[in-house]
Amino acid sequence: MSEIDDSNLRLARRIVEAACGLLVISGAGMSAECGIQTFRRPGDDGAWDQAAQQLATPEGFQREPQHVWSWYRRRRLQALAAQPHAGYTALASWEQRAPVFVVTQNVDGLHARAGSSRVVELHGSLHRFKCAAQSHAITDGCDQDVVPRCSICGSYVRPAVVWFGEYVPDAAISGAAEALEAAQAVLLVGTSLVVNTPGGLLRSAARRGLPIIEVNPDPALPRPADAQVSGHLPPATTVLAGPAGVVLPRLLA
Ligand code: BV8
């Protein structure tokens, strides 16, 4: 496990303690210590990401609805069996000091289960369902192995997640923008930033001059020193290069 630089931790602590509102942008790495696989792991053969690219798409569902349904059902059961780690509870507890706005790419529902009260799920949720043809909200009969049919229009039922090639819903985009408006600092946790969704939020935060703290054993943002060569992503103000379940409780003690 990479050592956390004490001076970076002290700077990060000063930043969060001074912030009257904290925007947390999280990705799959936030749930890695809960036993939920990330999409892209260093040294991985990318099999998981290849699967996601094939199955987490409207075309994949149209091609093989039962296979995609089973894949999501396995992930949902895994998420329900997972327990939020100490990093999740540290974020929820910080709400006693200042508003914490979570904007997550994750669909596992763990932030809310850990007690965070302001959560925007950019990519939807494993625990909500809709029909493929007309997005009728479906609440019954989704705990089965065989892909269900919509009782209204008869089309297949799918998880209410945002697939690759689908737009993030306007409500999530505006929720994230409101969170940014109310924040004075950004905590970026456990995302490779390979998916484009959080990029715009980070660029807006940088334009507003908000400090950005990245928590990741394998940081994704450019270092301040590389800022002039970085592409479309702003540099981190400081980086805590360690796992979320260890770093967040120390940062938010
Ligand atoms: C869209 C739900 C417009 C489903 C997911 C530019 C413009 C427009 C589109 C694109 C574009 N560039 C690319 C695209 C297409 C695409 C995209 O981004 N593709 C990528 C793969 C290149 N984007 C889209 O389609 C988005 N829609 O742009 O709409 C549009 C519409 C039509 C046509 C054109 C444009 C919608 C994307 C949403 C996809 N849905 N999830 C499901 O879950 O099945 S994304 C999926 O990846 C998950 O939600 C996951 O959270 C997310 C992002 O990955 P990360 O969270 O970053 O996870 P990853 O595994 O990559 O990294 C883990 C990180 O954790 C690592 O950094 C690691 O170091 C770190 N880590 C590991 N352990 C720990 C840790 N950190 C802390 N602690 C630890 N212990």
How far is CA 90 from each of CA 40, 93, 94, rounded to the nearest angstrom?
25, 5, 6
From 105, 122, 195, the mutation candidate for ligand 1 (largest count of ligand atoms within 8 A of CB) is 195
The alpha carbon of 197 and the centre of ligand 1 are apart by a number of angstroms equal to 7
In the chain, what are the domain boundaries? 1-36+84-123+168-253, 38-81+126-161
Who contacts 227 (Cβ-Cβ below 8 Å, separation ≥6)?
234, 235
Beta-bridged to residue 185, according to DSSP, are 22
- Of 83, 77, 60, 99, the C-alpha closest to 181 is 99
Domain 1-36+84-123+168-253 carries which CATH code?
Answer: 3.40.50.1220
Furthest C-alpha separation in the chain: 59
The CATH class for the domain spanning 38-81+126-161 reads alpha beta
From 106, 164, 194, 246, the mutation candidate for ligand 1 (largest count of ligand atoms within 8 A of CB) is 164
Verify whether ligand 1 is closer than 6 Å to residue 196 (CB atom).
yes
Per residue in 74-111, pLDDT tens?
999 999 999 999 999 999 999 999 999 999 999 999 99
Neighbours of 220 (CB within 10 A): 19
The alpha carbon of 194 and the centre of ligand 1 are apart by a number of angstroms equal to 6
Residues annotated catalytic, as ranges: 123
Measured distance CA(119)–CA(112) in Å, rounded: 7
Verify whether ligand 1 is closer than 6 Å to residue 116 (CB atom).
no
Neighbours of 253 (CB within 10 A): 8
Verify whether ligand 1 is closer than 6 Å to residue 197 (CB atom).
yes
The alpha carbon of 141 and the centre of ligand 1 are apart by a number of angstroms equal to 29
Same fold, 1-36+84-123+168-253 and 38-81+126-161: no
Per residue in 155-188, pLDDT tens?
999 999 999 999 999 999 999 999 999 999 999 9
Give the residue, by CA position, lying nearest to ligand 1 atom 56: 27
Q: Looking at ligand 1, which atom is closest to the CA of residue 164?
A: 25
Give the residue, by CA position, lying nearest to ligand 1 atom 24: 164
Verify whether ligand 1 is closer than 6 Å to residue 51 (CB atom).
no
pTM: 0.95
Per residue in 3-48, pLDDT tens?
688 999 999 999 999 999 999 999 999 999 999 999 876 656 666 6
- Residue 170 has, within 13 A of its CA and on its CB side, a CA count of 0
Q: How confident is the model at residue 1 (pLDDT cuts 50, 70, 90)?
A: very low
Which single residue is written with the structure tokens 């805590």?
Answer: 240
Measured distance CA(186)–CA(166) in Å, rounded: 26
Beta-bridged to residue 187, according to DSSP, are 24, 213
Q: Looking at ligand 1, which atom is closest to the CA of residue 40?
A: 60
- In contact, 179 and 101? CB cutoff 8 Å: yes
Is the predicted pLDDT of residue 247 greater than 50, yes or no? yes
Verify whether ligand 1 is closer than 6 Å to residue 52 (CB atom).
yes
Measured distance CA(36)–CA(179) in Å, rounded: 26
The alpha carbon of 195 and the centre of ligand 1 are apart by a number of angstroms equal to 3
Verify whether ligand 1 is closer than 6 Å to residue 195 (CB atom).
yes
How far is CA 166 from each of CA 66, 74, 123, 149, 196, rounded to the nearest angstrom?
20, 22, 10, 21, 12
For residues 183-205, average pLDDT: 96
